[in-house]
């Protein structure tokens, strides 16, 4: 059953889908009055019946809902700005793996320089990718894609989370490492929000790592192999999903 997100709450158990959602229902799926779709509003997935298809699509609740597939812990991924389309990959696959939000930041080793004039359109594109991935993976929450912030601003947000982890490639080189799984198990029943921080292609700089650790973050071991900037966040999300779900 097709799933669509609606920002507006239901009124008298009815809602109107507009824009891309309405176009997809009418033109792509070629649905008709009486067909059922899932409409997510305010974090609840309602099974609805189509009552009208014109320029917009009107749906009515059937009284049935679908259980939420969301992780019991909210995971924010903070990525040092990577090259190319890697943010798009992280956005799409991170959404499928349960990411709650994405916070890019301007790292010391980021080669990419964020253009504030074009940045708004880039963020809008990433948000659209997150929406489409959330529909495909049957989420009830669309991850929020934030505008990039400075490293200093990132450090200031650490106190907002129950736990903060840094993916530091230097940790992978150690002969003895504390397993990420062990650290996650220690959070069971205590943490509702986690921030995972990843560097760009060059990794987290020593000065950045020291500042984050001093602010209360801790390292996470993602194994003995060095992972790419776009692979490490997905590895961490999969590990968190395994432990908490």
Looking at residue 176, its pLDDT comes to: 64
Strands, E assignment, 156-208: 163-167, 193-198
Looking at residue 168, its pLDDT comes to: 81
Domain ranges across the chain: 3-66, 74-244
Is CATH 3.40.1280.10 what the domain over 74-244 is classified as, yes or no?
Answer: yes
In this prediction the pTM is: 0.91
Cα Rg of the chain (Å, integer): 20
CATH superfamily of 3-66: Hypothetical PUA domain-like; domain 1 (2.40.240.20)
Pair of tokens at residue 238? 């999969």
Q: Per residue of the chain (245 residues), what is the pLDDT tens digit?
A: 999 999 888 999 999 999 999 999 999 999 999 999 999 999 999 999 999 998 899 999 999 999 999 999 999 999 999 998 999 999 999 999 999 999 999 999 998 887 777 778 899 999 999 999 999 999 999 999 999 999 999 999 999 999 999 998 766 556 566 788 889 998 888 889 999 999 999 889 999 999 999 999 999 988 888 889 999 999 999 999 999 98
Q: Which of 77, 215, 74, 109 is nearest to 156 (CA)?
A: 215
């Amino acid at each position: 059953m097709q799933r669509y997100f609606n920002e507006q709450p239901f009124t008298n158990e009815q809602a109107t889908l507009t824009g891309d959602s309405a176009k997809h229902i009418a033109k792509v799926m070629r649905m008709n009055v009486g067909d059922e779709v899932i409409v997510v509003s305010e974090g609840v997935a309602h099974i609805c019946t189509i009552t009208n298809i014109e320029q917009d699509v009107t749906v009515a609740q059937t009284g049935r809902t679908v259980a939420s597939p969301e992780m019991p812990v909210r995971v924010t991924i903070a990525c040092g700005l990577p090259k190319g389309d890697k943010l798009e990959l992280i956005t799409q696959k991170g959404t499928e793996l349960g990411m709650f939000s994405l916070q890019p930041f301007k790292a010391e080793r980021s080669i990419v320089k964020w253009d504030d004039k074009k940045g708004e359109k880039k963020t809008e594109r990433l948000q659209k990718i997150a929406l489409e991935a959330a529909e495909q993976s049957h989420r009830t929450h669309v991850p929020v894609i934030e505008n990039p912030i400075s490293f200093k601003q990132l450090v200031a947000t650490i106190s907002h989370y129950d736990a903060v982890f840094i993916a530091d490639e230097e940790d992978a080189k150690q002969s003895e490492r504390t397993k990420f799984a062990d650290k996650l198990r220690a959070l069971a029943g205590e943490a509702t929000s986690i921030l995972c921080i990843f560097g760009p292609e060059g990794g987290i700089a020593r000065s950045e790592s020291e500042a984050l650790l001093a602010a209360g973050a801790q390292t996470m071991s993602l194994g003995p192999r060095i992972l790419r900037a776009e692979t490490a966040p997905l590895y961490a999300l999969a590990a968190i999903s395994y432990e908490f779900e």
